[in-house]
């Protein structure tokens, strides 16, 4: 049947081709016309799907808190908002530069342990996330279409967070059990947000955009909110895991000369994700796995005097810094200590670590030092 259909199509094209054109040229013209038509339909479908999601978002917000939706339309309604100007302040950065990316100002400097010093002095509340977010190096997208793809999920999740805060303060009454009944809207909104951020981190530009700064802020507030984070993690855990893996690979694969500020921004986003205890444990496992595999490959290359990837060697340090910071944060939190992390990756990481450090310490002293410091944090309870 397929052969007969193809033959019939070929005869139809031959009989209908205009004079002065070969069958090949006419076939290519028809194929191009059909592709353009398909692309037009796909664009229309995407627009309609976006509109459907927007309507579902409005419906869900109306179910959770009808009063908020009514008051939100009033011009003078300026109740407490979760994301204020302190959270969205791109012009406050000291280095709005389009430079090589190698400049490391004191604003972004890591201390002797590779840990941003302000984190130790921060309070465990929403303002902490804001202050941390302001330290993310400025990034921007020239293509507004990418920013527009983030606008809808950011606005929806921003309103959800605002309702949560106002209901907690007794200003509004809200029924968050509706989130259980409409998992599609929440999952799609979070997925769009994560996909947009992944695209952005793959090709960042300076300086930062308000929309992208808001997107990171909303994501962090969402996963650190005591009530909403359970709903989000339950429905979007796999997507968040995929997002973390993508960010780690962005750090490892980036070979651009001007990559260091961008990698610093990705690193800060991973650290912020690690503020959630559930995401933190899986993130520690991912980082331990990557660092361990690289250490084993480096040792093998050193023993046989083979070449190793210098770019990946440079990029492994942000992962070491993130890992050290997450473990240090666990140690500083009285409720959760680093000794509570007893995952399989911890056992693998510590198994032959002493031998790896012994062999690499002369040729790669800095990397060996980082491996040793991570091991100290993993075994802090035994040392005490």
- pLDDT value of position 354: 92
CB-CB contact of 294 with 316 (8 Å): yes
Domain coordinates of the chain in residue numbers? 152-168+179-275, 278-333+340-383
pLDDT-flagged residues of the chain (< 70): 68-146, 206, 208, 331-342, 381-384
* Alpha-carbon gap, residue 337 to 328, rounded angstroms: 9
Question: Residues 327, 333, 336, CA angle at the centre, nearest 5°?
Answer: 75
* Alpha-carbon gap, residue 97 to 104, rounded angstroms: 11
CB-CB contact of 301 with 312 (8 Å): no
- pLDDT value of position 248: 95
CB-CB contact of 198 with 246 (8 Å): yes
- pLDDT value of position 7: 94
- pLDDT value of position 380: 76
- For residue 140, give the 3-state DSSP assignment: strand
- pLDDT value of position 176: 82
């Amino acid at each position: 049947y397929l052969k007969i259909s193809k033959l019939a199509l070929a005869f139809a094209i031959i009989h209908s081709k205009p004079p002065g054109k070969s069958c090949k040229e006419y076939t290519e013209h028809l194929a191009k016309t059909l592709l353009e038509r398909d692309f037009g339909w796909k664009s229309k479908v995407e627009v309609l799907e976006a509109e459907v999601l927007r309507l579902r978002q409005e419906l869900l917000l109306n179910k959770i808190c009808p009063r908020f939706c009514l008051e939100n339309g009033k011009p003078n309604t300026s109740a407490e908002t979760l994301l204020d100007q302190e959270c969205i302040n791109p012009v406050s950065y000291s280095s709005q530069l389009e430079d090589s990316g190698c400049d490391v100002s004191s604003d972004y400097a890591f201390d002797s342990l590779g840990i941003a010093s302000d984190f130790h002095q921060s309070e465990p509340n929403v303002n902490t996330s804001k202050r941390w977010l302001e330290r993310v190096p400025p990034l921007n997208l020239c293509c507004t279409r990418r920013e527009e793809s983030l606008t809808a999920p950011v606005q929806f999740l921003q309103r959800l967070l605002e309702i949560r805060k106002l209901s907690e303060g007794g200003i509004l009454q809200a029924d968050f059990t509706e989130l259980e009944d409409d998992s599609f809207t929440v999952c799609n909104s979070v997925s769009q947000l994560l996909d947009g951020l992944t695209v952005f981190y793959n090709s960042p530009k300076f300086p930062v955009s308000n929309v992208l700064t808001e997107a990171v802020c909303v994501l962090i507030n969402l996963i650190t909110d005591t009530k909403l984070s359970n709903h989000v993690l339950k429905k979007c855990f796999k997507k968040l895991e995929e997002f973390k893996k993508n960010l780690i690979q962005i750090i490892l694969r980036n070979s651009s000369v001007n990559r260091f500020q961008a990698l610093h921004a990705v690193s800060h986003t991973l650290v912020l994700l690690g503020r959630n205890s559930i995401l933190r444990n899986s993130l520690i496992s991912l980082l331990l796995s990557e660092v361990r595999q690289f250490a084993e490959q480096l040792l093998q290359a050193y023993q046989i005097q083979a070449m190793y990837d210098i770019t990946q060697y440079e990029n492994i340090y942000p992962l070491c810094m993130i890992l050290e910071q997450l473990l240090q944060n666990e140690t500083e939190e009285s409720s959760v200590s680093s000794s509570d992390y007893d995952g399989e990756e911890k056992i693998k990481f510590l198994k032959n670590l002493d031998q790896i450090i012994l062999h690499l310490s002369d040729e790669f002293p800095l990397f060996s030092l980082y491996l040793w410091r991570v091991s100290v944090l993993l075994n802090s309870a035994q040392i005490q």
